[in-house]
């Protein structure tokens, strides 16, 4: 196998593969890649959103952005968000998946219930949480006060506002990730667990010796997708806080949106988008390498 | 003894998460039956906090009986777009996913990375060039603009690759030996084995379209063709946020998805797995 | 194998195109309001009776104003049977995103609504046309109030016609004042309360145990939109600070003046040391008795009548002129209508704009929306505008009105001011640092325009 690596492609198989891919590729090329190339071109220009003429700016926009403090802040907010969401959401989702993996009375109910937040639209979920979070009259704080706990001011305290967004996002996504993990768990042969049980492995040992290693590919998918989505977080921020309080939840995409549509500085927004694009792409490729699986695609 | 404690803890955790999952939705639905005045009135732990005092259907009447904003029409528009995108999306994305997951061909890694890059670019920055493209294609203010660019979804392709990867290559090779074409293998072996995964992706795609907001907002210029999320956001004006209407509209707009989901959920509940084709 | 694959592909593509194109055709065909449908459906009969023109007009969605527009459009179309107005309401929060995307695509509506301070950006990029010739012809410009004209003029030319004017005044909970024995503020705009007087009352009215805040200084709290800077700028001006140099080239030396520092320090104390102001404004706080002193526009009355009919003016609450410091100043400026440079029918567009914003149109507008008029003739036509409570708005407007800066850099100013007040109020940040940041943001925005 190894020695024949490149020559080993079956001609017919390759052709079939390209035919399978072509519809998707054609649509991507027209509706995503072509606009992306245009956006890349815009990033080298002084391009006002509503103006019909633009001038070439070369690397000016790039230079300026690199010294722009608010872009730096927004990068940090995006990464902070991701650094919290990635481990916490993955752990909760995996935990839920393990809890409801085995069949028992009511298992269907719990699986369904955990998935339900996924089917609430993100915009709607954000609106609901915005109301629930209100410091004085939101349900969350009414309940916290009712059971004698201090209230939390997610929407007006810059120190914890991002946590409010994080809770909202995890609430909405955990059911989906749980389903992905469930699929992965179900593919682990029961016989492995039985063998481990016979060998006297504790549940914790079984988790670390069997479950985690065999979930590697699923884990790779979850980690890569979660990272990308988390870094690009925007909708809940747009709806709940508009980047506030005091700019504490302004993420990269929020920065891009504000720059392009409020400040109408399209060239500058495109620069931010492409710097961010390469950053995330590198992260994703590194993650793909780290998680490189033995399973052949 | 230990066992019982563990089992008890397990149930408590499960129930706590179930409550967390459901509570915001419960709050939304209950509040949609309250009057504007009542939604924010109760601020202590009491029965009134959880159950409306004066049940009212007014919010629902308001959204459905406003002739200038035909809410039913918006729901149908959105449904139409979402169903078509979901149908074509499943076909196009599953074909690409099958190739990436199971077939061997040159430049696969490069192509995969290229596909992935479309997930990485912040959408907000390609929206303007995309809009210019719609203008050049003369698709502005048509459902075509809502449908065609949305069909391919690389997230969906990646997700299906996950599921397809579990199908043992041996089975496919065996089928090849028997003289089956790749198309036939895809149709007869891969797709049937991946029904739960396709349903998951179908729901996700549908949901994505149901959620779609910024794009319809800019490409649709006619109220009759508008979609549901844009309509909901119009209940929020600078001087007057009609929370009652918003909550009623969000409750109503969540129903189609919940119905679809509850109808199909036994496929997850029975376990998304490829075990059906395990060697 | 190949064949079946190709076949499938062909089928997918064919169905795709058929479904989409047939649907979009259906969609257009069934709705007579769509531009292409009207154009293609009516050439034969319209040729006979002269050119049929359709004007498109976009505005943000707000029910009472939409109603006024519909009324005026109906009468306009009656008068001009060859002109049809296609009126599109866009959700408020996304109006500017939508209109700017359309401008970027070169296919904006003929007529667009705009908020006064955004006018300079559009005018500077050539997106809208000056209306001076039209105004000279039949626009009755002399009838417009001075601050209105000032707010809609850029580089000596007037680019929009105002629907109405706007300003905000102080609202207070009369019963709470009486309970605490606090003397009521004067209704004379020349005798507005000073910041210290308001703060003094607010401290007495503040009641954290009951969840009551003494003083809410902005109508919408720390909102993420223009509503916040609209009310916040007044504090700077009242303290005697300016945002920009008179020639509009820099904020340095103006926004970081000692007067601005004083305003920001006061603002900071409201939220952080005195704690009389809510960091999160609860929904309907004033109407629910959770805020004792509030600030709002004339539209508040109809909102109250609709949602809180039992909370009455003169019994439960009253209005007074806005507060003052070194100076008495109330921010002004509201929405107007502009004609885009891409419009193929600017003359007809003006006819419509003038119909809506002209002498007679303004009266209809006032009757339906109860917004503060932009025309003297409207003030003269309605006695209620000279009576309490509208007279407070009217007099404050004419004596102490101050438009937001008219400069293409306004988007940067708006954001800088909004963040400045958030940093200091919500974030309890250092005043000097926050001001320096705001100055830099504004100057960067100005520098960008010079490229």
Residues A143 and A51 placed together within one structural domain of the fold: no
- Does residue A107 register a pLDDT over 90? no
The more confidently predicted of residues A104 and C351 is C351
Question: In the prediction, which pLDDT does A8 show?
Answer: 65
Residue A143 lies in a domain: yes
Query: Which chain C residues touch B146 with a CB distance below 8 Å?
Result: none
Residue A296 lies in a domain: no
As a whole number, mean pLDDT of residues C361-384 equals: 94
Q: pLDDT exceeding 70 applies to what percent of chain A?
A: 96
CA angle in degrees (0–180, nearest 5) for C119-C237-C130: 15
Residue contact B84–C19, C-beta within 8 A: yes
Report how many Cβ contacts below 8 Å link chain A to chain C.
102
Q: What is the pLDDT of residues A64-79, one digit of tens each?
A: 898 888 999 999 999 9
Which residue of C282, C411, C422 is in closest CB contact with A263?
C411
* This prediction's pTM: 0.90
Round to whole Å and give the CA distance between C283 and C305: 16
Residue A1 lies in a domain: no
CATH class given for the domain over B66-275: mainly alpha
Work out the minimum CA distance from C83 to partner chain B, whole angstroms.
Answer: 18
Q: What is the pLDDT of residues C156-179, one digit of tens each?
A: 999 999 999 999 999 999 999 999
Round to whole Å and give the CA distance between A131 and B39: 10
Does residue C389 have a cis peptide bond before it, meaning omega lies within 30 degrees of 0? yes
Residue contact C105–B183, C-beta within 8 A: no
Q: Residue C54: enclosing H or E segment and its boundaries?
A: strand C53-60
Residue A261 lies in a domain: yes
- Does residue C24 register a pLDDT over 70? no
Residues A225 and A273 placed together within one structural domain of the fold: yes
Most confident of the following: B17-21, B68-72, C305-309: B17-21
- Does residue C373 register a pLDDT over 80? yes
Residues A93 and A240 placed together within one structural domain of the fold: yes
Q: pLDDT exceeding 90 applies to what percent of chain C?
A: 78
Round to whole Å and give the CA distance between C377 and C72: 18
Query: Which chain B residues touch C282 with a CB distance below 8 Å?
Result: 40
Residues A189 and A165 placed together within one structural domain of the fold: yes
Which residue of A8, A17, A281 is in closest CB contact with B120?
A281
- Does residue A2 register a pLDDT over 60? no
Instruction: Kindly state whether C446 is in contact with chain A, defined as any CB-CB distance less than 8 angstroms.
Output: no
- Does residue C30 register a pLDDT over 80? no
Residues A251 and A272 placed together within one structural domain of the fold: yes
Residue contact C94–B214, C-beta within 8 A: yes
Question: In the prediction, which pLDDT does A191 show?
Answer: 86
As a whole number, mean pLDDT of residues B112-124 equals: 90
Neighbouring-strand partners of residue C165? C372
Q: Determine the 3-state secondary structure of C360 from DSSP.
A: helix
The more confidently predicted of residues C408 and B46 is C408
Q: pLDDT exceeding 90 applies to what percent of chain B?
A: 46
The more confidently predicted of residues C5 and A23 is A23
Query: Which chain C residues touch A137 with a CB distance below 8 Å?
Result: 282-283
Residues A146 and A270 placed together within one structural domain of the fold: yes
Question: In the prediction, which pLDDT does C99 show?
Answer: 95
Residues A141 and A255 placed together within one structural domain of the fold: yes
Q: pLDDT exceeding 90 applies to what percent of chain A?
A: 48
Residues A72 and A197 placed together within one structural domain of the fold: yes
The least confident of A273-287, B32-46, B255-269 is B255-269
Query: Which chain A residues touch B21 with a CB distance below 8 Å?
Result: 113-114, 116-117, 171, 175
Question: In the prediction, which pLDDT does C368 show?
Answer: 92
Residues A158 and A227 placed together within one structural domain of the fold: yes
As a whole number, mean pLDDT of residues B163-172 equals: 85
Nearest CA in chain A to B182: A16
- Does residue C38 register a pLDDT over 50? no
CATH number at residue A73: 1.10.3720.10
Contact status, residue C237 vs residue C392, Cβ threshold 8 Å: no
pLDDT category, B279, cuts 50, 70, 90? very low
- Does residue B203 register a pLDDT over 90? no
Residue contact C415–A263, C-beta within 8 A: yes
Residue A51 lies in a domain: yes
- Chains in touch with C (≥3 Cβ pairs < 8 A): A, B
Instruction: Kindly state whether B223 is in contact with chain C, defined as any CB-CB distance less than 8 angstroms.
Output: yes
- Does residue C11 register a pLDDT over 60? no
Round to whole Å and give the CA distance between A55 and A42: 10
Q: What is the pLDDT of residues C253-276, one digit of tens each?
A: 999 999 999 999 999 999 999 999
Q: What is the mean pLDDT of chain C?
A: 88
- Does residue C80 register a pLDDT over 60? yes
Domain finish residue from A44, A60, A76: A60
* Residue A255, CA atoms < 13 Å, CB-side half-sphere: 29
Q: What is the pLDDT of residues A190-230, one digit of tens each?
A: 888 888 888 888 888 888 888 999 898 889 989 999 999 99
The more confidently predicted of residues C13 and B10 is B10
Q: What is the pLDDT of residues C312-343, one digit of tens each?
A: 999 999 999 999 999 999 999 999 999 999 99
Residues A184 and A246 placed together within one structural domain of the fold: yes
Which residue of B84, B224, B236 is in closest CB contact with C92?
B236
Question: In the prediction, which pLDDT does B89 show?
Answer: 96
Q: What is the pLDDT of residues C105-118, one digit of tens each?
A: 999 999 999 999 99
As a whole number, mean pLDDT of residues C49-67 equals: 87
Query: Which chain B residues touch A47 with a CB distance below 8 Å?
Result: none
Which residue of A20, A146, A171 is in closest CB contact with B99?
A20
Question: In the prediction, which pLDDT does B235 show?
Answer: 85
Residues of the domain holding A56 = 11-60
Q: What is the pLDDT of residues B170-194, one digit of tens each?
A: 888 899 889 889 999 999 989 988 8
For residue B58, count other CB atoms closer than 10 A to its CB: 16
Q: How do the domains of chain B map onto residue ranges?
A: 66-275
Residue A48 lies in a domain: yes
Nearest CA in chain C to A240: C224
Question: In the prediction, which pLDDT does C129 show?
Answer: 97
Residues A183 and A148 placed together within one structural domain of the fold: yes
Query: Which chain A residues touch B182 with a CB distance below 8 Å?
Result: 12-13, 16, 20
Terminal-to-terminal C-alpha distance of chain C? 59
- Does residue A3 register a pLDDT over 80? no
Residues A100 and A212 placed together within one structural domain of the fold: yes
Phi, psi of B3, rounded to the nearest 5 degrees: -60, -45
Question: In the prediction, which pLDDT does B263 show?
Answer: 80
Round to whole Å and give the CA distance between C45 and C34: 18
Contact status, residue A127 vs residue C283, Cβ threshold 8 Å: no
Q: What is the pLDDT of residues A127-161, one digit of tens each?
A: 899 989 988 778 898 889 888 888 899 998 999 99
Q: How many domains, chain A?
A: 2
Residue A138 lies in a domain: yes
């Amino acid at each position: 196998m190894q020695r024949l690596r490149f020559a080993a492609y079956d001609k017919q198989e390759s052709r079939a593969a390209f035919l399978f891919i072509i519809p998707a590729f054609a649509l991507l090329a027209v509706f995503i890649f072509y606009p992306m190339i245009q956006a890349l071109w815009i990033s080298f220009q002084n391009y006002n959103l509503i103006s019909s003429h633009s001038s070439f700016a070369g690397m000016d926009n790039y230079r300026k952005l690199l010294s722009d403090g608010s872009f730096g802040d927004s990068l940090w907010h995006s990464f902070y968000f991701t650094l919290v969401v990635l481990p916490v959401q993955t752990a909760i989702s995996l935990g839920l998946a393990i809890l409801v993996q085995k069949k028992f009375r009511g298992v269907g109910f719990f699986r369904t219930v955990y998935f339900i937040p996924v089917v609430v639209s993100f915009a709607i979920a954000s609106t609901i949480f915005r109301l629930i979070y209100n410091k004085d009259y939101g349900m969350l704080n009414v309940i916290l006060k009712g059971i004698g706990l201090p209230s939390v001011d997610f929407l007006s305290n810059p120190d914890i506002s991002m946590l409010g967004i994080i809770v909202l996002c995890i609430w909405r996504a955990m059911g989906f990730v749980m389903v992905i993990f469930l699929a992965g768990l179900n593919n682990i042969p029961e016989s492995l667990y039985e063998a481990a049980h016979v060998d006297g492995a504790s549940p914790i040992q079984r988790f670390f010796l069997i479950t985690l290693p065999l979930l590697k590919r699923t884990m790779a998918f979850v980690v890569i997708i979660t990272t990308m989505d988390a870094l690009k977080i925007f909708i809940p921020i747009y709806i709940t806080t508009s980047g506030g309080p005091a700019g504490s939840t302004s993420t990269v995409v929020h920065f891009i949106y504000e720059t392009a549509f409020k400040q109408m500085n399209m060239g500058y927004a495109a620069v931010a988008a492409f710097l961010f694009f390469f950053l995330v792409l590198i992260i994703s490729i590194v993650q793909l390498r780290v998680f490189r699986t033995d399973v052949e695609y | 003894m230990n066992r019982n404690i563990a089992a008890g803890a397990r149930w408590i955790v499960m129930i706590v998460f179930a409550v967390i999952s459901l509570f915001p939705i419960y709050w939304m639905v209950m509040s949609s039956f309250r009057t504007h005045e009542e939604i924010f009135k109760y601020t202590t732990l009491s029965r009134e906090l959880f159950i409306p005092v004066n049940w009212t259907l007014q919010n629902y009447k308001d959204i459905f009986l406003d002739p200038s904003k035909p809410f039913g029409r918006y729901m149908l528009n959105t449904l139409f777009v979402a169903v078509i995108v979901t149908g074509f999306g499943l076909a196009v994305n599953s074909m690409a996913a099958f190739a990436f997951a199971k077939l061997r061909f040159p430049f696969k890694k490069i192509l995969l990375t290229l596909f992935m890059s479309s997930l990485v670019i912040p959408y907000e920055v390609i929206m303007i060039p995309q809009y210019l493209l719609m203008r050049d294609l003369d698709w502005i203010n048509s459902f075509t603009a809502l449908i065609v660019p949305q069909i391919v979804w690389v997230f969906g392709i990646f997700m299906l690759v996950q599921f397809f990867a579990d199908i043992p290559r041996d089975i496919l090779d065996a089928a090849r030996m028997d003289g089956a074409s790749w198309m036939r293998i895809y149709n007869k072996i891969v797709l049937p084995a991946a029904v739960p995964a396709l349903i998951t992706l179908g729901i996700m795609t549908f949901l994505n379209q149901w959620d779609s907001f910024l794009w319809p907002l800019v490409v649709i210029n006619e109220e009759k063709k508008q979609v549901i999320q844009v309509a909901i956001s119009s209940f929020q004006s600078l001087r007057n946020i009609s929370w009652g209407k918003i909550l009623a509209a969000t409750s109503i707009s969540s129903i189609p998805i919940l119905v679809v989901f509850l109808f199909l959920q036994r496929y997850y509940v029975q376990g998304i797995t490829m075990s059906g084709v395990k060697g | 194998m190949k064949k079946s694959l190709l076949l499938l592909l062909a089928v997918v593509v064919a169905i795709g195109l058929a479904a989409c194109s047939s649907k979009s055709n259906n969609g257009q065909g069934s709705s007579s309001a769509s531009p292409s449908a009207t154009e293609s459906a009516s050439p034969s009969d319209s040729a006979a009776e002269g050119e049929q023109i359709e004007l498109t007009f976009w505005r943000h969605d707000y029910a009472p104003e939409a109603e006024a527009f519909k009324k005026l459009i109906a009468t306009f179309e009656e008068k001009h049977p060859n002109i049809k107005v296609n009126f599109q309401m866009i959700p408020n929060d996304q109006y500017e995103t939508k209109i700017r995307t359309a401008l970027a695509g070169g296919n904006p509506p003929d007529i667009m609504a705009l908020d006064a301070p955004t006018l300079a950006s559009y005018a500077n990029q050539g997106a809208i046309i000056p209306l001076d010739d039209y105004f000279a012809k039949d626009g009755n410009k002399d009838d417009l109030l001075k601050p209105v004209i000032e707010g809609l003029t850029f580089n000596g030319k007037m680019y929009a016609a105002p629907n109405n004017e706007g300003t905000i005044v102080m609202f207070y909970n009369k019963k709470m004042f009486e309970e605490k024995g606090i003397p009521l503020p004067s209704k004379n705009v020349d005798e507005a309360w000073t910041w210290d007087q308001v703060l003094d009352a607010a401290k007495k009215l503040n009641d954290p145990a009951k969840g009551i805040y003494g003083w809410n200084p902005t109508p919408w709290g720390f909102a993420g939109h223009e509503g916040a800077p609209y009310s916040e700028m007044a504090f700077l001006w009242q303290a005697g600070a300016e945002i920009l140099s008179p020639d509009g080239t820099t904020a340095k030396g103006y926004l970081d003046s000692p007067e601005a520092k004083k305003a920001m320090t006061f603002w900071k104390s409201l939220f952080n040391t005195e704690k009389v102001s809510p960091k999160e404004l609860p929904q309907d706080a004033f109407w629910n008795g959770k805020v004792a002193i509030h600030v709002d526009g004339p539209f508040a009355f109809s909102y109250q009548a609709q949602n809180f009919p039992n909370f009455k003016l003169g019994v439960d609450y009253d209005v007074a002129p806005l507060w003052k410091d070194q100076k008495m100043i109330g921010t002004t400026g509201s929405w107007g209508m502009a004609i885009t440079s891409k419009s193929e029918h600017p003359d007809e567009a003006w006819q419509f704009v003038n119909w809506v914003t002209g002498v007679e149109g303004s009266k209809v507008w006032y009757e339906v929306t109860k917004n503060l008029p932009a025309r003297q003739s409207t003030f003269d036509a309605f006695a209620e505008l000279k009576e309490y409570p509208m007279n407070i708005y009217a007099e404050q407007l004419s004596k102490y009105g101050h438009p937001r800066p008219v400069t293409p850099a306004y988007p940067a100013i708006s954001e800088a001011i909004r963040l400045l007040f958030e940093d200091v109020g919500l974030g309890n940040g250092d005043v000097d640092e926050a001001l320096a940041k705001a100055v830099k943001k504004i100057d960067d925005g100005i520098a960008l325009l010079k490229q």
